[in-house]
Amino acid sequence: MRAVAEYWLALTLGFWVTAWVSVCIFLGAALGAVVLGALRLSKTPAIRIASMLFVELIRAPSALVLLFWVFYALPLLPGMPRLPPLTAAILVLAFDGAAYGAEIVRAGIEAVPRGQTDACHALGLSKLQSFMKVILPLALSQIVPAFGSLTRSMIKWTAIVSFIGVQDLLYVANYIRGQTYDTVIVFGLLAALYWILTVLCGAAFSALEQVLPLNRVARAERLSVQAAAEADAAAGTVQ
């Protein structure tokens, strides 16, 4: 354990690299999922089919195969750049998360009652205004919990970035294991650090769920009903 403790700075840096990659791929995946999810519901067949094919193209191979293809094979094609390891890792995992998240967004949008869309049209809102100001905020109550689970999975996906030289937690842990031969301790610490990241992610999404419009309304209604019940009970006691 003392030998492993000497590498605490390297573990800390690896932790922050993993956290940074996780945040970047979450932001990219969230944005991409909203765009792809909306396109999957387009009334134009060409757009709908193209977005579906793109989603299936990204989801079909494993993230590791995509990462190797982008980092090692893509630069061999004429005119294609060689991306830095960190850029390639974030790009691939963000697209992979967006492809899986697109189906979450699509299902969330479809869960919004049709009457909301009709009301937007009656008010003269454009399709973009209706989507951004009414449909998407209402769909978030369905999207956010499922996307929270996906994000926790994406944190664990980041372990594959070590295979192209990104010095994340797994990369550093393997280096420390090779220096100290304390396999059990090193990978025990590695599991604990990934657990911390996923717990922090879960706490962040739980807090986000509390501020969603529909959840705030539901909470206010529950408080109203509870207050009315208490008032009725108090009135009955007085009588």
- What pLDDT is stored for residue 23 in this prediction? 93
What pLDDT is recorded for position 25? 93
Decide if 158 contacts 86 (C-beta within 8 A): no
Q: What is the pLDDT of residue 38?
A: 87
Residue showing tokens 């690896």: 14
What is the reported pTM? 0.82
Mean pLDDT, 10 residues at a time, over the chain (239 residues)?
Answer: 73 91 93 90 87 89 89 87 90 92 87 76 75 79 86 90 88 86 86 92 86 60 54 57
Which of 100, 78, 81 shows the shortest CA–CA distance to 32? 100
CA dist., res. 188 & res. 214, Å (int)? 41
The reported pLDDT for the residue numbered 21 is 93
Q: Look up tokens 């709908």; give the residue.
A: 48
d(CA 129, CA 117): 11
The predicted structure's pLDDT at residue 26: 92
Q: Which domains does the chain have, with CATH numbers?
A: 2-238 (1.10.3720.10)
